[in-house]
Amino acid sequence: MATKPAVPANPHPQRMLSDVTADSVLALIRDRVLELPEDFGVEDDLPAAGLDSMAIMQLLLAVEEEFGVSLPVESVSKKHLSSASALAQHLASNGAPGSEDAAHTAETRPSLSGPPDAPSPPPSPPPPPTRSDAPTRFQQLRLRGPDYFVLCFDRLSRKTGQGGHKAHSFLLLDSLPDTARLRLALEQAAALHPMLNARLKKRWLPGIPSWIPSQQPTAPRLFLHSEKGSSGRLLAEGAEAFEDAHTLMEQITNLPMPVMKGVAWPKARFHLLECKDGSAALIFSWNHLMMDGVGAELFLQELNAMEAGESRPLVPPFDPEAFAPPTAPSGALNRAWPIIEFFRKLARSRIPCLGPMKPRRGGTRFLAETLTAQQTEAVRARCSALCGDLVTMPFYLAAAMRAHAAVFDRRGQPPPSQVSVVPLQTRRKGTPGPIFLNHITVFFGILSREDAASMERATASLLGQHARFLKDRMGDSLNDLLGLMSYIPPSLYMAFTRMQMRGPFSTLFHSHTGEFAAGLNQFMGATVTGAFHVPGILTPPGTGIFCNEKNGRLVVTACWHEDALDEAEKDLMMQSFLADLGVS
């Protein structure tokens, strides 16, 4: 039987509390948390530089490791994190170990040393794009652990008739964009980014596949649709007429993303809908093997910038380490061991889901609701009351899991617990990209039936789990494990995973991706009025609730496999979620 490997020494030796100065705090942030410009000073604005909820938790953990000061999240306000100087002052006045205020807070609120096993905050919006000299060309681009998992998930979904692991990014526009400019931008993107048409190839039989650039780049296709009763401007360009926008949108999200084994493999397409009220909707469909949600937003930003005359990419297409040769697995097992132990514990209990327990042919349905500015403010106020001002993920995840519990209860099947997978961005905060591949890890939120009984208990439990997840570096551990598993053939990968988990690995999918494409307010001459993602939902688990913001308004998207929910259950899930958020 395998035994636990030796634990490596702490790579960050602890310093004294007397070492805390504005300069030392800034150096810590620069070294461990944010990518900051050289002229960034101790009084400069940290939130504007990318200090979002995930970065805040990373910073508090770094402070604890560096100076021995444990600060519960709820004891720190936005004011304390406005600058390196402000945080240093807070540490000096309130962060001393054993202080009465810190001790009281630690007793009443989850800290970074909270309960085991859990999730973390949603991915953050990318900062405004800046120029980069990162290469756009490559001879081969090896799949990393998260990408290989997506490849295996994609092949399983195709084999079971679910169309591949794809997702869709929606831009809602006040008017039709210029289609000629959009087509030109797509052609430029295909010429500039070989990834759009690259194909997978193995150099040797048991090796990890790599992307190989195509010799015949082809621009992503643009399909046009015109609603009956609209101005019909797109009809002159060959658009197809349609009756109902939402019905067509669901049909588009269920179109398969074909795999081409020849010289090119298109992994993206666009659909433009002309609506009878004068507005328009652009649907960007993309293969998850090519990018993640933040990458899709960056790509839309880049398309718009290309059309504006930029001759070079605004964001780097790849992480420089993606070009590095694979590292030896020595030491990887040590780093992966914490997540292996976590999965062993998780596998002892049966994980329920609302969809079929085995993969089943069928499509995705979705419902997207954009809240008013007033409703969004009410949600923020309730989140602040239950979860604090800085970290929001546990609040939204608690509402999503309670919404699923409501449907289980309606079926008379209340489970003893639920598990949710939550994607977590690994892009270093403050960096503009990169666009392609999957820059994520995943963590697991676990909620017992008792903790799901109220939003207060559910949020507190998930907040503590999230803190422990970060402290134990479970995200890094998971990616090391995924790297080790990349040598398993795709045909066995998912079967092995299901065997280890004794069934599905998740009750539901959830994410909150923050502001959608921050700064993207115009697209090809039209004003962006709203935006959201629709992930392709597979069975199992077959359901998910996703959130993002655009123009200061929260967008809630419920997605479900057509065999997972009926209409009454769909309505119950959305109503429960919105009610827990505080939407009246």
Q: At which residue do the structure tokens 């926008």 appear?
A: 245
Q: What is the rounded distance in angstroms from the CA atom of residue 263 to the CA atom of residue 450?
A: 55
User: Which tens digit of pLDDT belongs to each residue from 105-133?
Assistant: 333 334 333 333 434 344 344 444 454 55
CB 181 within 8 A of CB 524: yes
Contacts (Cβ under 8 Å, ≥6 apart) of 28: 59, 62, 63, 66
**How is the chain split into domains, by residue range?**
17-108, 141-323, 352-469+502-581
- Output the pLDDT for position 328: 62
Q: Per-residue confidence at 545, pLDDT binned at 50, 70, 90?
A: very high
Give the start-end residues of each E strand in 1-147.
Answer: 141-142
Q: What is the rounded distance in angstroms from the CA atom of residue 258 to the CA atom of residue 184?
A: 23
Distance from CA of residue 372 to its chain's centroid? 24
State yes or no: pLDDT of 18 exceeds 70. Answer: no
CB 512 within 8 A of CB 548: yes
- Region 240-255: mean pLDDT is 97
For residue 38, the SS3 value is coil
121 preceded by cis ω (within 30°)? Answer: no
- Please give the class, per CATH, of domain 17-108: mainly alpha
Q: What is the rounded distance in angstroms from the CA atom of residue 416 to the CA atom of residue 430?
A: 41
Helix axes 53-67, 455-471, angle to 10 degrees: 50
Contacts (Cβ under 8 Å, ≥6 apart) of 29: 36, 46, 51, 59, 62, 84
Q: Per-residue confidence at 558, pLDDT binned at 50, 70, 90?
A: very high
CB 280 within 8 A of CB 421: no
Q: Per-residue confidence at 3, pLDDT binned at 50, 70, 90?
A: low
- Output the pLDDT for position 312: 62
CATH domain 352-469+502-581 topology: Chloramphenicol Acetyltransferase (3.30.559)
Q: Which tokens belong to 147?
A: 């990408």
CB 427 within 8 A of CB 476: no
CATH domain 141-323 topology: Chloramphenicol Acetyltransferase (3.30.559)
Q: What is the rounded distance in angstroms from the CA atom of residue 523 to the CA atom of residue 127?
A: 18
- Region 466-482: mean pLDDT is 91
What does the buried/exposed string (b/e) look like for 123-150 if buried means 16 or more CB atoms within 10 Å of the residue's CB? bbbbbebeebebebebeebbbbbbbbbb
